[in-house]
Amino acid sequence: MNHSVKRLRYVLKRLLQALPIVLAIVVVNFFLLHMAEGDAVDVLAGEAGSATPEYMAELRQKFGLDKPLPVQLAIYLKNVLSFDLGYSFRHEMPVSQLVLDRFVPTLLLMVSTILLAVGLGIVLGLIAAVGLNTWRDNLISVFALVTYATPLFWVGLMMIVVFSLNLGWFPTSGMENIAAFHTGWDRVWDIAHHLVLPTITLSLFYLALYTRLMRASMLEQAGMDYVTTARAKGVTERRIVFVHVLRNALLPVVTMAGVQVGALIGGSVIVESVFAWPGLGMLAFEALFARDLNLLLGIFLLSALLVVAVNLVVDIVYSLLDPRIEVS
């Protein structure tokens, strides 16, 4: 009980610590976006085709884009602190609603990718390290090197050509078979089916990363004194690998997984684009080119929070794996 209170306090403290970072991200991006030429009104007017300067001025006033920058920022920050992300200029919807709509697919893709990349990476790294310099090790190392070096979009396009068009195993794109409108378990199955190719594509790069890290980490740990101690106790090699070395070797992998989350969300833009996955990355991309300031800031805010949250989870996992780290 005392422990869980401690952990809760830790979580709260960490969130509080993250607050300045998240706000700083918002502020930095706010100014960066204002450095960009043109604004949301230019885009909307360009799309509508025939807006007069008067109409555009009216729109700017409506969006609050006519106010001086510091005032705009102050208003935005005030709203954010009261959990109001504002209104998307372009979608004419509250940003929170838009962003939350796209959050679930992002989370789905992210979690499945991390699970696959970390899980399989650990397994492959382990196999490679255990069979050091055997054909298994070489095969896995070559696989990791090649996948690490292949551009994501290329993999994605090739996956579609091979697995969707030629073999017909998986759908080309999207998150659901929209012609069908499945419900219940059918829908879960359908989404899982659509998830396969994007997940594999996105995870390949990270899979390679974790495989290499895990292998190196296993090898490093295998040289540690406690392994010698375990051998001196007569413990089997199997147990040395799976009980002694594995848990220690996992630590850097877990740390890396936490560091990579930010990159992962960003890297998903390409995958989302190729597979028409309705995630935050694509939304951010669109928002940027529509100069949909509120929306973009909202996305940055949410993804920053997401990264913070994942890092928190990683830290807690880490503290579970490593008793030396105390969560307090």
Partner 1 sequence: MTRENLAHFWRLYRRNYSAVAGLAILAAIIALAATAHFFFPDDPFKLAGRPMSPPATGGFLLGSDSLGRDVAAGIAHGAKTSLLIGLVATLVAVGFGALMGGLAGYYGGWIDDLLMRTTEMFQTIPSFVFAILLVAIMKPSIESIVIAIAVVSWPAVARLVRGEFLSLRNREFVQACHTLGMSDLRIMLGEILPNCLSPIIVTGSLMVATAILIESGLSFLGLGDPNIMSWGFLIGAGRTVLRSAWWVCTFPGLAILITVLAINLVGEGFNDALNPRLRERR
Partner 2 sequence: MQAKEEGGQPARPEARRGEPASDALLKTLTIPGKLTTSAATRDGTKRREVEARLDITRARETRSNRDAGFGRLSLGDIMTMKKLIGGLVFAAVLVTGSFAAQAQKAGGTFVFLVQPEPPSLASYLSTSGPIGLVAPKIYEGLLDYDTDLNPVPALAESFEVSEDGKTVTFKLQKGVTWHDGKPFTSADVQFTVMEVLSKVHPRGPNSFREVTAIETPDEHTAVFKLANPAPYMLRALSAYESPMVPKHLLEGQDPRNADLANNPVGTGPFKFVEWKKGQYVRLDKNENYWKEGLPYLDRVVGRFIPDASTRTAAMENGEVHYGAYGAIPNVDVVRLREMDHIGVTTDGYAMINPVSLIEFDTTRPPFDKPEVRQAISMALDRQFLIDNIWFGYGKPATSALSTNFAATGLYAEGMPNYPAKADVAAAKKILDDAGVAPDADGVRASAVLDLIPYGEDWRRAGEYMKQALGDIGIKVELRYEDVPTWLKRIYADYDFRMNVNYFYQLPDPVLGVHRHYGTDQIRQGTHFVNSSRYSNPKLDSLLAAGATEADATKRGAIYKDIQSILAEDLPVVNLFEMQFLTVYNKKLKDHETSALGAYGSFERAWLDE
Partner 3 sequence: MTGQLLEIRDLHVALPEGSERRYAVEQVDLELAPNEILCVVGESGSGKSLTARAVMGLLPAPHVKVEKGAIRFGQEDLTRVGDARLRQIRGSEISMIFQEPMTALNPVMTIGDQIDEVFRFHARMGRKERRQKATALLDDVHLPDPAQIIGAYPHELSGGQRQRAMIAMALALDPKILIADEPTTALDVTTQAQILKLIKELQAGHDTGVLFITHDFGVVADIADRVAVMQQGRVVEAGSADKVLNAPEHPYTRDLIAAVPSLVPRAARQRSAEPVLQVQGLTKVYRSGGGFFGLGGKERKVTAAKEVALELRRGETLGIVGESGSGKSTVARCIVRLNDADEGQILLHGSDLRPLGRAAMRPFRAKIQMVFQDPFASLNPRTRVGRIIAQGPLIQGQSPAAAQDRARELLEIVGLDARAFDRYPHEFSGGQRQRIGIARALALDPEVLVADEPVSALDVSIQAQILRLLDEIRDRLSLSMIFITHDLRVAAQVCDRIAVMRYGVVVETGSTGEIFRDPQDAYTKDLLAAVPGRHWLPARQDAIA
Establish if 224 lies at the interface with partner 3 (CB under 8 A).
Answer: yes
Judged by CB, which is closer to partner 3: 138, or 229? 229
Establish if 238 lies at the interface with partner 3 (CB under 8 A).
Answer: no
* Number of residues assigned to the chain: 328
Residue 80, Cβ density class (10 Å: 0-12 exposed, 13-18 middle, ≥19 buried):
middle
* H or E segment to which residue 8 belongs: helix 2-35
CB 315 within 8 A of CB 258: yes
| CA distances to 87, 92, 229, 285, 287 from 46, in Å | 20, 17, 72, 18, 15
Judged by CB, which is closer to partner 2: 240, or 280? 280
Q: Site residues for partner 3, window 7-26 (CB under 8 A)?
A: 13, 16-17, 20
Which residue among 53, 70, 168, 323 contacts partner 3 (CB under 8 A)? 323
Which residue among 146, 228, 259, 263 contacts partner 3 (CB under 8 A)? 228
Least CB distance to partner 3 at residue 46 (A): 44
Binding site for partner 2 (CB under 8 A): 36-40, 42-53, 56, 62, 90-93, 98, 101-102, 105, 157, 160-161, 164-165, 168, 171-176, 178-181, 272-279, 282-283, 285-286, 288-291
Question: What tokens does 166 get?
Answer: 């030629």
Least CB distance to partner 1 at residue 167 (A): 16
Q: Which long-range contacts (CB under 8 A, 24 or more apart) does 303-306 make?
A: 303/262, 303/265, 304/18, 304/21, 304/22, 304/25, 305/18, 305/22, 306/106, 306/107, 306/110, 306/261, 306/265
Judged by CB, which is closer to partner 1: 190, or 272? 272
Residue 238, Cβ density class (10 Å: 0-12 exposed, 13-18 middle, ≥19 buried):
exposed
Q: Which does 92 bind (CB under 5 to 8 A by kind): partner 1, partner 3, partner 2, none?
A: partner 2
Provide the CA 172 distance to its chain's centre, in angstroms. Answer: 22
Least CB distance to partner 3 at residue 323 (A): 4
Q: Which does 16 bind (CB under 5 to 8 A by kind): partner 2, partner 3, partner 1, none?
A: partner 3
Judged by CB, which is closer to partner 1: 190, or 198? 198
Which residue among 5, 16, 35, 167 contacts partner 1 (CB under 8 A)? 35
